[in-house]
Every structure is written in C-alpha cells, then in structure tokens.
Amino acid sequence: MDQPIEFQHKQSAHCENGVVSNLLRFYGINLSEPMVFGIGSGLFFSHMPFLKVGGIPVTSFRPLPGIIFKRTSRRLGISFERKKFRNPKKAMEALDNNLNQGIPTGMLVGVYNLSYFPDAYRFHFNAHNLVAFRKENNTYQISDPVMEGYEQLTYDELLRVRYAKGIFAPNGHMYWVKNIPKNIHLEQAILKGIKQTCKDMLTIPIPLFGVRGIRYLSRKVRNYPRKLGVRKAASYTGQIVRAQEEIGTGGAGFRFMYGAFLQEAAQILNKPVLRDLSIELSGIGDLWREFAVITGRIVKNRNSLDESYDKAADLLLVIADREEAFFKKLKLAVS
C-alpha cells in the first residue's frame, strides 16, 4: 500500500488529543499529544455512583468528551468550523466536499462498528474522534489517532459509525480548522490550562470530583464487598481500572501523560520546578498502577471473598493525599 504523504499521522494514546495534534500539524503547528492534553486541562477525576454504564457506576479520569478539544482551541485562539446533519447522505456529501478541497476533516464516530478496532474495545462508545483526509473509489483514507498507521473505511462503513445511536450520538458531527491566528501565545495557554486543572482537582465543592472524589471512591470501595457481594464488588472495582488503563490514557489514568506535559511546559516556560513536579507525578501514577495490580488480583479471585478491598481503599487515600499536595505545589508554581 502506498503511504499517503499529504496528512501526517501520529499515533496517540487518547483520540481527542490526537486528532487536535494531528490536525494542527497539517497546518504547521507542532504540538505534542501531552501539550494538547495539558492546555485543554484533560486531567481530572470523578466518581459518579448514580451515573451507570452497563449497570456499573462511572469513574472517570478525564472531563466529558469534547471538553479538551474545546478548551485547547479556545486557549490557542484556533477556530474550528463544526457541523451536524439530520440527513446521513448530506453529512457524507459535506465530507466529500471538504476532501475535494483538500481539507482534512475530523469526525465524531461510534467505535462499535469500526472494523479495524480490536474486538475487546468494540463497545457502544460514541465519542471517538478520527480524521478523513482523502477519498478514492468510495474508500476514505482515515487517520485514527489510537491506531499505529493509516486505516481505510468504505462509504457505508463510515456512514454507519457516523450515525451510531445511543448516548453522545454523533449525528454526523464533523469539524475542521477554520482559522489559525498568526501568533499563538503558547505560554499563556499552558498557564491557563495548568491553573484550571489545579482548580478542578482541588476546589470543586462537590465531593464527587477531584481529590475529594478519590476519597469518596475509597469509602465506596471499602464497602463494596459487604454491600454488593463478591461478584458485583469485583465488577465495580474492575471498572475503575478499566477507566484508568483502557485505550487512551497513556497509563495510570492520564497521570503519566500529564507528567510528560509538565516536563515540556517546564522548558517552554523556563520553570525548572515543573520538571521536578513531572517526576513526582510519575511516582503518583505508579501508585495508581499499584491500585490496578491489587484490583487485578481481586478480579481474578472474584468468586471468593478477597481481603484486599481494604488495601485498595487505603491506597486510594494515600493517592488522594499525594495528589492534593501535588496540585497545591503545582498551583503555587504557576501563580
């Protein structure tokens, strides 16, 4: 297969960062995935017991889909054109129109029917991002940020995923770069991004979010085996680790990726303290990984009562303390 050269694809851990990073590179702006993630304040924590997916409460290490995208473009002053369509045929026509003009176009899609995805990741998640950059004989050349190389989708396949149904139904949503300012104020954008993350992690006055959310989850996990029974307790705890490690986090619930961002930021802002903090965050990420190890064991022995729930809950408290101290230091470093 000949490699298309007009759109340079780079794999990323997370689709939203990856699409923004890849689209901007096309227009000559080189921002790494961690950069986009950090400017968009992608790091977060929330545990929402009343919001259930597949019957299991949602734990998330990132804000709602679309938010990173929105914040990053706003902070860099880049404007995107966005469109949704009732009529699937019109949505495909509009895409073809864009591609004819050589405009790489981002789209929201559902992953369930993405043929190139591994089966284990094909569930009904509708806020995945990818870019189409060329059409040939009814086949679209696709740059999907989580894949290593270029992919292809036929007209019918693409139409199907653009019109996936359910929560966050994309409705043919597509977007492309409209305007890039002459001067991009990267330093300012980075500072804004960091400040918001500190705020999100430390000061939201609802106990489900940020550091308080981690403590809340710790209490929940401690009670899971008593309240839910062994099987369900294992599923609930396993779900936390799935959110933490499954496709798109770069490891440890985005903590490692955010570390990479801080390290880059240290250089751009000329603040060596951020580099020290980036190493510290890698250590906190290691604690999250340890939590995953304990959970993995719980899930493996799911048919017998496992005594590790207390250990897991204790570890979450340690993580919460470490993150609280960490984000206080980070806040100080950028104020």
- 11 lies in the binding site for other proteins (CB under 8 A): yes
Measured from the CB atom, the residue of 83 and 122 that comes closer to other proteins is 122
Measured from the CB atom, the residue of 210 and 250 that comes closer to other proteins is 250
**Per-residue burial over 28-48, b = 16 or more CB atoms within 10 Å of its CB, e = otherwise:** ebebbbbbbbbbbbbbbbbbe
- The rounded distance, in Å, linking the Cα atoms of 266 and 100 is 41
Among residues 104, 170, 225, 251, the one that binds other proteins under rule CB under 8 A: 251
The Cβ of residue 225 has, within 10 Å, a number of other Cβ atoms equal to 21
- 120 lies in the binding site for other proteins (CB under 8 A): yes
**In the complex, minimum distance from the CB of residue 129 to other proteins, in angstroms, rounded to a whole number:** 16
Measured from the CB atom, the residue of 61 and 209 that comes closer to other proteins is 61
Measured from the CB atom, the residue of 175 and 291 that comes closer to other proteins is 291
- 271 lies in the binding site for other proteins (CB under 8 A): no
Residue 47: in which H helix or E strand, if any? strand 46-53
Total of residues contacting other proteins (CB under 8 A): 51
- 58 lies in the binding site for other proteins (CB under 8 A): no
DSSP 59-111: EESS-STTHHHHHHHHHHT-EEEEE--SSHHHHHHHHHHHHHTT--EEEEE-S
> Do 177 and 69 meet the contact criterion of CB atoms below 8 Å apart?
no
**In the complex, minimum distance from the CB of residue 247 to other proteins, in angstroms, rounded to a whole number:** 6
Q: Using CB under 8 A, which residues numbered 216 to 235 contact other proteins?
A: 234-235
- The rounded distance, in Å, linking the Cα atoms of 64 and 85 is 22
Task: Report, in this order, helix, strand and coil percent for the chain, each rounded to 5.
Answer: 55, 15, 35
Q: Which of 8, 55, 45 is nearest to 258 (CA)?
A: 45
- 165 lies in the binding site for other proteins (CB under 8 A): yes
Among residues 204, 296, 308, 324, the one that binds other proteins under rule CB under 8 A: 296
Per-residue x/- track, 131-160, other proteins (CB under 8 A): ---------------xxx------------
Token representation of residue 129: 């991002």
> Do 116 and 124 meet the contact criterion of CB atoms below 8 Å apart?
no
Token representation of residue 319: 């993580």
**In the complex, minimum distance from the CB of residue 74 to other proteins, in angstroms, rounded to a whole number:** 25
Token representation of residue 20: 């923004």
CB-based contacts of 47, cutoff 8 Å, min separation 6: 57, 58, 59, 60, 208, 213, 214, 216, 217, 220
- 176 lies in the binding site for other proteins (CB under 8 A): no
Per-residue x/- track, 298-327, other proteins (CB under 8 A): -xx-x-------------------------
- 2 lies in the binding site for other proteins (CB under 8 A): no
Per-residue x/- track, 84-113, other proteins (CB under 8 A): ----------------------------xx
Which residues are near other proteins by CB under 8 A? 11-13, 34, 112-113, 116-121, 123-124, 146-148, 165-166, 169, 234-235, 238-239, 241-242, 245-247, 250-252, 256-257, 259-260, 263, 278-279, 282, 285-286, 289, 292-293, 295-297, 299-300, 302
